[in-house]
Amino acid sequence: MNLWFIALWVTLVKAWVVNEGTTCTLYPESLSHRGQAVDDSPSIQQAFDMCGTNGTVIFSKNLFHVNTVLNTTNLLNCDVHLHGELRFSTNIPYWRTHTISVVLQDQVTAWLFGGTNVNFYGEGGFYNGQGQEWYNANRNQSNQPGRPMSITFYNSTNLFFWATFVWDSKNVTFTNLFVNATSNSKWGTMNTDGFDSWKSDSILVETATIIMGDDCIAAKGNTTNFHVKNVYCEGGTGITIGSIGQYPETPDYNLNTTFENVHVKNAMDGAYIKTWQGTRI
């Protein structure tokens, strides 16, 4: 009887959050649902709620299904280790109507992530936004309203990570970054930036390979002290400062941006500055 109880307990925790002190280890729901793509977002949210302050969140070496929106902000002194794959669902109608606004250019995100003194380590992990489904649905048209960025880093200080859009943050470092936003069908990619910053200060992007269909790296408005070094860009338009000046009611500037040792291949422009003038379109 006791052995049966222990075996049952092990089965249950494999599909949930194992909490040991200030460490939360995540296992996917699919392990107890015969491989079905059950949403792991509630478990992920629970892990960050429990261990997001002075703690550690570990994604085990498994496949995690992200089927609903995540908001894990206000983290403090938190380390995140991704050993498995985070795979976002292909439920396009859901994502187009259930996202979080990031304000800039009416963009939205599927996961809002942020805090102070946060480290996010890849460690063999894989972040899969399932872009191909969106490219096929878009059929070479302009960006679909409501199409989200898979993750956005917001209101963060001393953040160390390895992939995408940084907003209203300070002291952010991305190292050993690999981004692939390309299509393997007849439909191309639209508005697939590799890395963007906005209203942020003291950002370092170092040692990165970015293959995409738009800006490789864009230092958008009110970005200061931005250093990009040892980066390979392929496709899209290249590296850019901007766009700047889109919102007349908001002062827009870009100070102390440095691109160092950047190689650009098969891009439309290579390097350029984007500005707005006159009436907003």
Structure tokens at 31: 């392990």
The verdict on whether 214 is a catalytic residue reads yes
User: Full-prediction pTM beyond 0.85?
Assistant: yes
Mean pLDDT computed over 176-202: 90
**Taking the C-alpha atoms of 235, 240, 245 and 251 in order, what is their torsion angle to the nearest 10 degrees?**
140
Q: How confident is the model at residue 170 (pLDDT cuts 50, 70, 90)?
A: very high
**Taking the C-alpha atoms of 230, 195, 169 and 48 in order, what is their torsion angle to the nearest 10 degrees?**
-110
Of the listed 79, 214, 215, 252, which one is catalytic? 214
Residue among 196, 235, 200, 201 nearest 219 (CA)? 196
The structural domains of the chain, ordered by start, are 23-275 (2.160.20.10)
**Residue 267 pLDDT greater than 60, yes or no:** yes
- Residue 94 has a CB neighbour count (10 Å cut-off) of 14
* pLDDT digits 0-9 by tens, 101-158: 987 777 889 999 999 999 999 888 989 999 999 999 988 887 778 888 889 999 899 8
